A = this chain, B = another copy of it.
Amino acid sequence: VRYSDGHKQETRAKVLKAAAHAVRAKGPDGVAVGEVMAEAGLTHGGFYAHFANKEALIVAAIEEAFDESRRRFAALTEGLGPQAAMAAFVDAYVSTAHRQSRARGCPVTALASELPRQPEAVRAAFDAGLRSMIARIARWLPETEVDREGLAASLMAEMAGAVTLSRAMADDDLADQLLAGCRERIKARMGLSKEQPQ
């Protein structure tokens, strides 16, 4: 072992983190192996000591992006009851801040429409991340709700749609209006609106 123990793991983690940002900022096909390696402070040739090929990097990057996103939202909702957690989640997700941070935001919003063109392994990674997100949302919904998974999927669709559309809009004010409107309507759909009692 030439380098200190775990040196290779650390390098791999650095490359992966850069890739997880790049895949959201530029899309799976827009990620350039050389750029990712440079971002991690290395030259392109060393890439293949860590990953079999670009596809393997994309798969790992998507998993990493979902993990990052999960940790971010877990921190945000820590210690809150289900309804308060859900409200905090919606406020953070359907927000101007999220609109503006594509590289660090939720991979669902950043990648969804490019996914059908991706190879099987990439699609599988995204599919798993998406399903676990919906399941997490479902757990926050009232137990009295008859079809929690169904409602969770519907809410996920609107949240991801809202952020994606807001990013596609040229006018910042209009985009903010759309986000605010969707945010309130989503909360109203779950009895979490400001106008209604908790």
Is the CB of A142 closer than 8 A to any CB of chain B? no
Is the CB of A95 closer than 8 A to any CB of chain B? no
Closest to A161 in B: B161
Q: How many residues of A contact B (CB 8 A)?
A: 48
Is the CB of A42 closer than 8 A to any CB of chain B? no
- Copy number in this complex? 2
Report if A102-B127 is in contact (Cβ < 8 Å); known contacts: A154-B185, A160-B164.
no
* Of B115, B117, B151, B154, the contact of A30 (CB 8 Å cutoff): B117
Is A168 a contact of B115 with CB atoms below 8 Å? Answer: yes
30 contacts between A and B (CB under 8 A): A26-B117, A27-B113, A108-B165, A111-B113, A112-B164, A112-B165, A113-B113, A113-B167, A116-B167, A116-B168, A123-B168, A123-B170, A127-B169, A127-B170, A127-B171, A130-B168, A150-B181, A150-B185, A151-B185, A153-B178, A153-B182, A154-B181, A154-B182, A156-B161, A156-B165, A157-B161, A157-B182, A158-B158, A159-B161, A189-B189
